Amino acid sequence: MTLRLEKNGKVAHLLIDRPDKRNAFTQEMWELLPELLVDAMADDAVRVLMVHASKKNSSFCAGADIGEFAAGAKDPEWRARNQAAIGKVQHNLAQAPKPTIAIIDGDCVGGGCGISLACDMRIAGPKARFGITPAKLGLVYPLHDTKLLVDAVGPSQAKRILFTGKLLPAQEALDIGLITILADDPYAEATALAETMASVSLHSQTMSKAIIKRILDGQADDDAASKALFDAAFESDDFKEGVSAFLAKRKPEF
């Protein structure tokens, strides 16, 4: 299985397992990922999803399988199915309600970089490299995926990345905001972060994620819907447990 979901307590792992092809995605993998994502999001025990290569010190994902893509792209029907599958991955992952973390310990290129950008956070090791390379193939990056890039690094750096197709080293990716954390051991760093996030309120996290998305989509002030999110929190079980734990001077159990 080149793509699979494993669950370990409160943390689920979406594993990319095609190391001989630098974890490049086939059409089958693009179509499978949303199903695995639904599984992780629907499981009440899962609090955080981590997306990463199945093996350490390997590419995160080299993007689409160019051999398959070059052959299939000649067929308009296959091309449409491929574009739809990739678009579904990017939209569904970006809109996943629970926190998501990409762990990058090697090359993260093209569609692979898009997958990482659709996650809430990106934790990378010093050997990681990042690039979005449609300019090298005469292609155009989709608007939704470009927006994720612009949201992360701003329009000027997004233009540089797209206009050149160059691979950026990990430190430079950190400097421009393409990654969240640079760590010598990104897996240990991500595990510690996931454990911290899993110990606090999921309700607070999912509502915060929804509000941040509204801001990134252009909303600048509260409306009735955002005010309702704020007000509803006071009636939630998480708020009751948080207050109770604070008054009892104990750790809350969310």
User: What pLDDT does residue 124 have?
Assistant: 98
Enter the pTM of the model: 0.94
pLDDT per residue as tens digits for the range 231-242 = 888 889 988 888
Say if residue 137's pLDDT is above 90: no
- Phi–psi pair at 178, nearest 5 degrees: -70, -30
Please list the residue range(s) of the chain that carry CATH number 3.90.226.10: 3-197
Q: Which CATH number is associated with domain 201-248?
A: 1.10.12.10
User: What pLDDT does residue 247 have?
Assistant: 85
Q: Which CATH number is associated with domain 3-197?
A: 3.90.226.10
Say if residue 73's pLDDT is above 90: no
Please choose, from the candidates 134, 142, 140, the residue with its C-alpha nearest in 3D space to the C-alpha of residue 94.
Answer: 142
Report which of residues 241 and 92 the model is more confident about: 92
Instruction: Spell out the residues 6+ positions from residue 11 whose beta carbon is closer than 8 angstroms to its own.
Output: 46, 47, 48, 49, 50, 191, 194, 195, 198
User: What pLDDT does residue 56 have?
Assistant: 93
- In the DSSP assignment, the letter for residue 11 is E
Strands 129-131, 168-169: pairing is antiparallel
